[in-house]
Amino acid sequence: MEVLEAIENRRSIRQYKAKPVDEKTLELVLEAARWAPSWKNTQCWRFIVIRDSGIKAEIANCLIKSKRDDVLVDNPGSMAIVQAPILIVACAELGKSGLNAGVFATDKGDWYMFDVALAMQNLMLAAHTMGLGTVPLGLFNAKKVAEILKVPEGFCVVAMTPLGYPDQEPRTVPRQELSEIVFHDKFGA
Ligand SMILES: Cc1cc2nc3c(=O)[nH]c(=O)nc-3n(C[C@H](O)[C@H](O)[C@H](O)COP(=O)(O)O)c2cc1C
């Protein structure tokens, strides 16, 4: 699959088959994450691969409900975590990304969110090219997840995704037109 095709056709998958993912396929997906660019190649990311259904269930309970039209609805990521054979939790080492000469060099401070997102996107695109589904999850209590997974001081949990074979035809959610998001020479122009 061409990169552009993978980018355009990847969709968030929230329903999974129980079919296992073999080690070789998992390794290829993680390899894609490993080759992401990062601040001064600091590679602050760490990935925890979880197959244990008890741990997956505990983490599924850490997801935060969404508010839609003033009504609280379950985060569909919870069920996805329980169903999928694998959960990948992306963590970051803090204080590595965004440094220049030993200090945070920009107004953004620590760039770990950016670096981890790049790795996650690589991982999700690679998974898609192999017929696997993912959904990036961010609406959860990251401190609770860190406790469950014994993430040490100096690291944090950033995001996670189930990984498995899709059991749904996902709907495509629209994107803004280029004319709405691309400017020329000056912002807004
Ligand atoms: C940072 C981030 C956090 C997200 N968190 C959740 C989440 O907690 N639960 C969920 O169901 N989807 C979550 N999503 C998935 C988005 O809803 C989804 O990517 C978006 O609607 C576009 O759909 P698509 O991925 O199918 O193109 C998240 C996506 C991103 C990038």
- Going 121 to 127 to 133 to 134, the CA torsion angle's sign is negative
**Residue positions counted in the chain:** 189
Strands 103-104 and 71-73: unpaired
Rounded to the nearest angstrom, the distance between the alpha carbon of 185 and the centre of ligand 1 is 31
State the pLDDT at residue 189.
Answer: 86
Measure CA of the first residue to CA of the last residue in the chain; give whole Å. 35
CA distance 166 to 14: 8
Cα distance between residue 62 and residue 59, in whole Å: 5
What contacts 37, CB < 8 A, 6 or more positions away? 115, 118
Beta-bridge mates of residue 87: 50, 162
**Is the distance from the beta carbon of residue 71 to the nearest atom of ligand 1 less than 6 Å?**
no
C-beta of residue 100 within 8 angstroms of C-beta of residue 84 = no
Residue 1's pLDDT is 67
Residue 135 Cα, ligand 1 centroid: separation in angstroms? Answer: 6
Which residue's C-alpha comes closest to atom 29 of ligand 1?
A: 136
Both structure tokens of 25: 């396929």
CA–centroid distance, residue 32 to ligand 1 (Å): 20
- Distance CA(164)–CA(124), nearest Å, equals 11
Q: Which residues contact 164 (CB under 8 A, 6 or more apart)?
A: 13, 16, 17, 19, 21, 83, 84, 85, 86, 132, 133
**pLDDT values of the chain reduced to their tens digit, one per residue, 189 residues:** 699 999 999 999 999 999 999 999 999 999 999 999 999 999 999 999 999 999 999 999 999 999 989 999 999 999 999 999 999 999 999 999 999 999 999 999 999 999 999 999 999 999 999 999 999 999 999 999 999 999 999 999 999 999 999 999 999 999 999 999 999 999 998
pTM over 0.85: yes
The residue to mutate among 137, 140, 157, having the most atoms of ligand 1 within 8 angstroms of its beta carbon, is 137
The residue contributing the CA closest to ligand 1 atom 30 is 136
| Model pLDDT, residue 7 | 97
Distance from the alpha carbon of residue 120 to the mean position of ligand 1, in angstroms: 12
Closest ligand 1 atom number to CA of residue 170: 26
Ligand 1: does its nearest atom lie under 6 Å from the Cβ of 142?
Answer: no
d(CA 122, CA 88): 13
* Residue 25 CB less than 6 A away from ligand 1: no
125 alpha carbon – ligand 1 mean position (Å) = 14
Q: Whose CA is nearest to atom 19 of ligand 1?
A: 12
